[in-house]
């Protein structure tokens, strides 16, 4: 398996998402993944993946954890930040700690021949 993963970080414009992007890149590199990654903040694109952005631009921000702990909708509702790999949302509605990201990306690590 030597495919290049197409990863997208769906997020708000909040600078905290730069940290999530950094963690994702760091873990992908650690696992030896071949990938391209982009951060997308366009709400219309997020909606296309079924991901909702509850961040309020210019308003008080309690942080992603506070927003996503108090979830609206049913259990299938997805909130930003979200990680898309090859067109599929694989992580959403949580804080992108290194452990969380590694848990997801390790499933894409290449097996030794």
Q: What is the CATH number of the domain that holds 52?
A: 3.40.30
Its domain, for residue 44, covers: 5-108
Mean pLDDT of 38-48: 96
Tell whether 65 is covered by a domain.
yes
Token pair in block for residue 59: 């308003």
In a domain, 113, yes or no: no
Q: What are phi and psi of 6, to 5 degrees?
A: -100, 105
Residue 35 pLDDT exceeds 70: yes
Which of 2-6, 30-34, 46-50, 84-88 is predicted with the least confidence, judged by mean pLDDT? 2-6
Mean pLDDT over all residues of the chain? 84
Whole-angstrom Cα Rg for the chain: 14
pLDDT-based confidence at 76, cuts 50/70/90? Answer: confident
Enter the pTM of the model: 0.83
Q: Give me the number of domains the chain comprises.
A: 1
């Amino acid at each position: 398996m030597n495919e290049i993963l197409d990863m997208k970080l769906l997020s708000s414009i909040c600078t905290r998402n730069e940290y999530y992007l950094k963690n994702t890149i760091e873990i992908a590199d650690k696992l030896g993944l071949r990938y391209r990654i982009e951060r997308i903040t366009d709400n219309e694109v997020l909606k296309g993946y079924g991901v909702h952005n509850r961040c309020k631009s210019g308003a008080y921000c309690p942080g992603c954890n506070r927003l996503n702990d108090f979830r609206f909708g049913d259990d299938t509702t997805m909130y930003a930040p979200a990680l898309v790999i090859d067109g599929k949302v694989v992580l959403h509605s949580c804080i992108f700690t290194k452990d969380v990201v590694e848990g997801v990306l390790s499933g894409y690590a290449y097996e030794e021949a």
